[in-house]
Each structure stands twice: as C-alpha cells, then as structure tokens.
DNA sequence: TTGTACGCGTTATCAG
DNA sequence: CTGATAACGCGTACAA
C-alpha cells in the first residue's frame, strides 16, 4: 500500500523540543542572527534529532520565492532523448546552480502544450526564473513570460522582439565559416542540409551558408531541410543527392543530422571526403565517433547555458543586467570529413 | 534592473471579479463540481481575463501534495553531461509524466552532497515522490527516504536492503551473455573492462562475465576497472593490454567505455574484431557510431525509467504495488565488433 | 534576545 | 449549490 508518510516534523515541534518559541527556532534555523548561543544549540540539537527540514511550500508562501528555476525545452520527447545538445544545456545550467541553493525544474513540453499548460505552470509562481532553450517561432513564451514579469533568459535568439534577454552564438557566422572552408578546399558544388526554419539557429546557419556562396559566386540552390535529428538528416541528404547528383560538398546544420547524412553517403557509395566533403555543426561528442570524424563548427552549448544561468542569477539577485544579448563567436574544428 | 513582477492575481481577485465567493471560485477552478453553470462561466471568464494561475505553494500547503516528483542523479556534472544513459532515463520518465500533471524536478547531486543537501531537499516535502538512478553503495538515499516515508523507486538495484522498490535489468545475465558470445566465437583469452564496483551494475556485469569464463574453464583474471566514461574506458583498456598482451577478446561494461577502448586498440594497431573482439554494454546510440559498430548487450534504459515512473505513480495513487523488483531480461545485439 | 500575533493564497469543512 | 471560517507551516514586524 501507499507508504505511510509519517508527518514531517514542523517548526512548532522543533521549538517545543528545544524549549523556545517558534520564532526563535525560525531565526536559529535561518541565519541564526540575534539568538543566544544556548537557544541556538538547543534548536540545532532538536533539528538534528527530529530530522527537521523546513516545508518549502509554507516558506514560499511567505517569502514569495520558490528557490527553484525552470529549464524549458519545448520539444517532443524523442528529440530531448536523442539530442546531446540538451544534455549539454542541462549540464551547463546545473553547474551554475550547484553553487546556489536553487533547484532545477526540467520542463519538457510538447510544442502543442507550451501555450497552455507550460505557460500556466510558469506563471503560477512555481519558479523564480526561467531559462528557455530550443525556442520556436510560434512559441508564446517570450511574450507571455515578459508580460507576467517572470525573469527569463533564452538560449538562442527568440523571434519575438521586446525586452528579451538571450545568450547565443553567431550562427550566421558559423554557417559562413563552414561554407567558406568548403570553398577554400576547392569544392565546386556545395549543398546544405538546413535545420528547421522556425528556429533562429536553423535560419541563421542557412543564411550564412548562402551568403558565403554568393560571395564566392556560386549557386546556393541545393537545399534540403531536416529537423536536427539523425533520421531527418538522412532523409534530407538522400533527397538532396537525388536532386543534385553533382554535389561534391555538404554543409549539414547539426552533427546529428550529419551523422545521418554520412550513412546515406556511405550507402550511395560516395566516399567522404574524397567524393563529397561534409561539414557539420555543434561539435558534440557524436562528431568524433562518426566515420570519418566530422569537421564541424563549435556550438558552445555548455558555455551558453552556463552564461544564461549566470545572467538569470544576477536577475534574481536584483542586479542590473544589460539587455544586450551575449553572443559567442563560432569556431571551426577540422577533422577528416572535409 | 530586476523585472518588476506584477503581483500574480489571487483567487480572491478572481472571485470578486466573478461576483462569487472564494470558495465557489475555488470549486469552479478545480473540477467544477457542485457549481452552477452561471457561476462556472463567470469564474472561467474572470480567470481568463486576469490570467489567473493558482499559487502552487499555497495549494501544496493545504493539499499536502506538490504535484512534482524528483529524478535524483547522484553523479558529478561531467558524467551527466556525457552519458546518454541519463538522457534515456530523463526521457523515459518524462514520457510517463506527460500523461499526468506532475512536473519533473531534476536533482543532480555531487556524491558528496547527497547525504546532506539532497536528503534535506527530498525530505522537505518538496516532491511527492522520487526516482533514483545511478545509485552508489555508500549513498544513504535508500534508508533516508524510506525512513522519511517518501515514496521512492530506484532504477538499478540499490545496496541497502529493506523495503526498497526497484526496476533493473539482469546485469549478471547480461555479463554472462557477453562472455558466452566471445567463448562461442572461439576466443581463447578474454579480458574485461569492468564498471565501478560501488554500483550494482558494475558488480553484476563483472560477476556474470566471471561465471561464464569459469563455466568454460577459462581464466577470469584479466580485469581492469573503469568509471563508465569514455576516457576511463580508454585508460583501463591500455592498462589491460599492457598487462595481458595475449588478449584476443574484451568485454567492456558500457558502450561509452568501449568506444574509448576501441580508440586504444586502434592506436595499438590491433584490428577489431580480427585481433581483438569487443563486446560493449548498453546499446545506446554510441554503439552504432563507433568503428566498427559495437556488438553489445541491450540495456533497456528508457523502458526501465518508464516502468519506474509508472510504479511511482501507482504508489502515489495509493495503489497496492508489490515490493518485488521488476527485472528486465538482457539481450545481445551482434554487430561488427565481435 | 525573545515571544506574540498576523498574513501569505489556497483548499476543506460545515452550516445555510 | 453557496459562502463563512478554519486550517496548512512558516517568516517577521512589533512589542516586551
């Protein structure tokens, strides 16, 4: 049967046991300022004996703080499952939170639920602040959270304008770097597997690629779209190869999609990089375990998440945080694939 | 500056706006039973206009439920970052929770913090239930949580005895399967990179390997220990090869460690599987992206997490949940490496 | 330094 | 079906 939850000890019981009043017990427990050594000792002992832990709900009610922050990932389960990008995000945020007493609440929301359930949750005062990652064009989070006055920091530039704080990497520059690397390598016909166009990362990487090709006087018409998953990348790559058999280079907007594309190329008998050079994006662990290892653009996921967490902490502490976005510079890592 | 959080609307305000009492408003919002259609409509309208969301802290205080459950991962950040095992766990649990109104609170704790900070948090009534994964021998969670009466389900057999509910896979059988596969393949000298011996998975896989070799009349003395990370696997593998140059097969207790081992073998000029056959463990995505792809034992991470979540929900619902552990059967997937 | 008294926002009880 | 009213556990002015 359901565990018989022995009622948790209350502050009242601690006070009684220590022979002091509730308020004294409370003061002794929080900070211990303005309380006599004897009282302090008595309370400490009582806390230990009873295994007392303050009830966070009751405390929240009066302090109006929850001591927890939410990481919102508006993606279906499958993606959160398979994409190491999110592991990096969770970790970066976690490393910042470790220094504090804040707890991390993970909110994975189906895109369809974001507008209703997730917003309701976040506006309910359940968390002191929010970090949003993997934001889509139609998500209402930016406007809703700003309107509700919930301190929020985005990882990745959101579409909505207004007073939105965010941390990002220059994806346009990243796309450009990838394309320029392929141009420099003497590739003649460069295609791309782009990311979702309802996400700024997808849009920007494509734009960068496109601009670089234009600068080089090359056609930027070989484009297929994936969804940042390995399977999606494979599908997009085969469409692309079917439509443009003359391709000798591919910029794929994420390592995971690139891994899928490599499989398709191998099945098609195209050697990488001899026949087709491939550049990925992200530089997550997967980039080194593919065959051949991926030349890729570094996406500083952990650093971005850590920075976002830091900004949020500043915000919560009431410090002045400039509204200007923090934008990291991308970097190219050359491995065997291009 | 810090966002000016406009005070969240309260039930009181909703009631006033709807022209009813707090109680009626409350009933209309929860379930809507025994409330007239007019009142219901008025309240609904007021809720919408004011953007009301019930204050969870206040609600928790009286209902004694928090509508959230914790996933505890007692590992340093680096591991949570790099090990897809946890992504699978989070996802499996998330998929179960999606059906409910429960939120997932992710508690990543340094092993050193578990006994103090984490226990304090979990005992504070902040969550209705707990799922613990990656439990170590010295962790006090099992006893502490049972003592506090917090409904808990472990993924992976904990060391503490008592009324501990857990979901696991038969790691001993898995280790045995891996070894037997190598024996059947005619390998003469089989070593192992074992996992941490303060975790039941590490212990059991080693025991299974050991037993199979004993059955085959072979020596089970070529053992090195890793920490379930890729780097740790590489280190252990090179130690092993140095001490036992005659090895022609390796059972590595996790795919991540196996990936590290493959690198070492390649650097040493040993061909896989021709010179040395390698069997991994987990069958996570990494197993298919190594060169060669890994023969491995399936660790049904997502299914285990999902099952654990289901058990916890039953527990929370007050249903009778047998104390017998749920144990999955392992399965061997043969790929190129052995 | 200590204790008394009040309020945080919600749900549950019970009389109408 | 509705509306007072009493908790829930804690923090904190305020008074002593």
CATH number of A321's domain: 3.40.50.2300
Q: Using one digit for the tens of pLDDT, what is the confidence trace for B167-185?
A: 999 999 999 999 999 999 9
* Residue B133 confidence class, pLDDT cut points 50, 70, 90: very high
Residue B336 lies in a domain: no
- Decide: helix, strand or coil at residue B334: coil
Least confident piece of the model among A3-12, A115-124, A131-140, A161-170: A3-12
Q: B309 and B234 share a domain?
A: no
Burial class (CB in 10 A: 0-12, 13-18, 19+), B327: middle
**Given CB atoms, is A108 within the 8 Å cutoff of chain B?**
yes
Question: How far, in Å, CA of A119 to CA of B14, rounded?
Answer: 19
Q: A253 and A309 share a domain?
A: no
Q: A183 and A288 share a domain?
A: yes
**Cβ–Cβ < 8 Å for A269, A296:** no
Residue B4 lies in a domain: no
**Given CB atoms, is B60 within the 8 Å cutoff of chain A?**
yes
Q: Got the DSSP string for A115-143?
A: IIIIHHHHHTT--SEEEEES--TT--HHH
Q: How many domains is chain B built from? A: 3
A125:B57 CB<8 A? yes
pTM, entire model? 0.86
Q: A213 and A291 share a domain?
A: yes
A106:B124 CB<8 A? no
- Using the predicted structure, report yes or no on whether residue A335 has a pLDDT greater than 90: yes
Q: A243 and A139 share a domain?
A: no
- Using the predicted structure, report yes or no on whether residue A124 has a pLDDT greater than 80: no
How far A154 CA sits from the closest chain B CA (Å)? Answer: 15
Q: Using one digit for the tens of pLDDT, what is the confidence trace for A296-321?
A: 999 999 999 999 999 999 999 888 89
Q: A193 and A276 share a domain?
A: yes
Q: Got the DSSP string for B37-51?
A: HHHHHHHHHHHHHHT
Instruction: State percent of chain A over pLDDT 90.
Output: 65
Helix axes of A301-316 and A84-97: crossing angle, nearest 10 degrees: 40
Residues 245-274 on A with a CB inside 8 Å of B are 259
Asked if residue B46 keeps its beta carbon closer than 7 A to nucleic acid strand D, the reply is: no
Q: Averaged over A50-57, what is the pLDDT?
A: 88
Q: Using one digit for the tens of pLDDT, what is the confidence trace for B7-32?
A: 788 999 999 999 999 999 999 998 77
Position B1 scores a pLDDT of 35
Closest by Cβ to A106, choosing from B8, B104, B320: B104
B66:A57 CB<8 A? yes
B53:A123 CB<8 A? yes
Residue B335 lies in a domain: no
Residue B201 lies in a domain: yes
Q: Which residues form the domain of A244?
A: 171-298
Asked if residue B36 keeps its beta carbon closer than 7 A to nucleic acid strand D, the reply is: yes
**Cβ–Cβ < 8 Å for B257, B233:** yes
Least confident piece of the model among A269-273, B95-99, B301-305: B95-99
Q: Using one digit for the tens of pLDDT, what is the confidence trace for B233-269?
A: 999 999 999 999 999 999 999 999 999 999 999 999 9
List all nucleotides in chain D with at least one atom under 7 A from a protein Cβ: 1-5, 7-13
Least confident piece of the model among A52-56, A324-328, B160-164, B334-338: B160-164
Asked if residue B20 keeps its beta carbon closer than 7 A to nucleic acid strand D, the reply is: yes
User: Which helix (H) or strand (E) covers residue A152, if one does?
Assistant: strand A152-155
- What is chain A's mean pLDDT, rounded? 91
């Amino acid at each position: 049967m359901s565990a018989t939850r022995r009622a948790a000890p209350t502050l009242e019981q601690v006070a009684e046991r220590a022979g002091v009043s509730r308020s004294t017990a409370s003061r002794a427990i929080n900070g211990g300022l303005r309380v006599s050594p004897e009282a302090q000792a008595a309370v400490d002992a009582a806390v230990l004996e009873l295994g007392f832990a303050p009830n966070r709900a009751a405390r929240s009610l009066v302090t109006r703080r929850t001591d927890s922050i939410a990481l919102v990932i508006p993606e279906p389960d499958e993606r959160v499952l398979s994409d190491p990008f999110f592991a990096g995000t969770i970790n970066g945020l976690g490393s910042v939170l470790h220094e504090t007493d804040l707890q991390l609440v993970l909110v994975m929301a189906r895109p369809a639920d974001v507008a209703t359930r997730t917003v309701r949750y976040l506006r309910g005062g359940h968390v002191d602040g929010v970090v949003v990652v993997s934001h889509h064009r139609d998500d209402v989070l930016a406007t809703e959270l700003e309107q509700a006055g919930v301190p929020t920091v985005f990882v990745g530039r959101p579409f909505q304008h207004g007073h939105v704080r965010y941390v990002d990497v220059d994806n346009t520059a990243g796309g450009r770097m990838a394309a320029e690397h392929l141009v420099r390598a003497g590739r003649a016909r460069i295609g791309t597997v782009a990311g979702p166009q309802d996400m700024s990362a997808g849009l920007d990487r494509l734009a960068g690629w496109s601009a670089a090709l234009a600068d080089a006087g090359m056609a930027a018409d070989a484009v297929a779209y994936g969804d940042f998953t390995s399977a999606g990348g494979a599908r997009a790559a085969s469409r692309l190869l079917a439509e443009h058999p003359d391709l000798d280079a591919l910029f794929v907007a994420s390592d995971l999609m690139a891994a899928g594309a490599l499989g398709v190329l191998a099945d098609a008998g195209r050697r990488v990089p001899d026949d087709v050079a491939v550049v990925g994006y992200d530089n997550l662990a997967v980039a080194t375990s593919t065959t051949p290892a991926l030349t890729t653009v570094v996406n500083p996921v952990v650093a971005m998440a850590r920075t976002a967490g830091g900004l949020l902490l500043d915000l919560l502490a009431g410090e002045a945080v400039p509204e200007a976005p923090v934008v990291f510079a991308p970097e190219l890592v050359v491995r065997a694939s291009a």
